[in-house]
Amino acid sequence: MAVRKILKLGNPVLRLASEDVSEDEILTRDFKKLLRDMFETMEHAEGVGLAAPQIGILKKLVVVGNDPKHPDHSPEVPKQVIVNPKITPLTSDLEGHWEGCLSVPGMKGYVERPVKIRMEYRDESFKLHDEVIEGYRAIVMQHECDHLFGVLYVDRLKSTQLFGFTEDVNTGGKELD
């Protein structure tokens, strides 16, 4: 396993759309190693999620999860692999959060997103899942899946006045890293 370099805002790869992952790819040793590396990279950087484009791999692949035993300000997000996701908002109700990103280190911005989504995706065995996701976990999924289409949270800022260095913004307790 290896901690991979996380690309930062300004790297043109972060603005490119990713390709679907095929069932054949999932069965390879390289894919399994990539998953281990992504989880290790995410955990090393103390993130809640990591998308493959953030480490220079233009594939529709995301890993998420935080350690429920780790004292953290965010609710638990179960550890899982998301392959080829499709997200459909199920409400026009938006909830705002101060989002951070491993590709935009040291910064936070206020972003509003739908609080209830339907997400269709495949797991690391290529098994199809279709679930309704709400609240904080829905926000995390939307944030991470945006990376697969070359979108970063800074593109969704409610206002540029609600963007700044992590230590200088007053988040009111609504944070997403």
Kindly report, residue by residue over 36-75, the tens digit of the pLDDT: 999 999 999 999 999 999 999 999 999 999 866 655 556 7
The per-residue DSSP string of 36-77 comes to HHHHHHHHHTT-SEEEGGGGT--BSEEEE---TTS--SS---
Looking at the domain that runs over 12-176, which CATH code has it been given?
3.90.45.10
Catalytic residue of the set 95, 144, 167, 175: 144
- Given this model, what pLDDT does residue 177 score? 57
What is the model's pLDDT at position 108?
A: 96
Pair 82, 130: CB distance under 8 Å: no
Read off the pTM. Answer: 0.92
Three-class SS state of 165:
strand
pLDDT value, residue 75: 74
pLDDT score of 109 more than 60: yes
Q: Residue 114 above 60 pLDDT?
A: yes
Average pLDDT over residues 1-25: 96
Active site residue 120: no
Token duo for residue 82: 């998301």
pLDDT for the residue numbered 76: 80
Mean pLDDT value across the chain? 93
- Interval 100-114 mean pLDDT: 97
Nearest by Cα to 141 from 106, 90, 107: 90
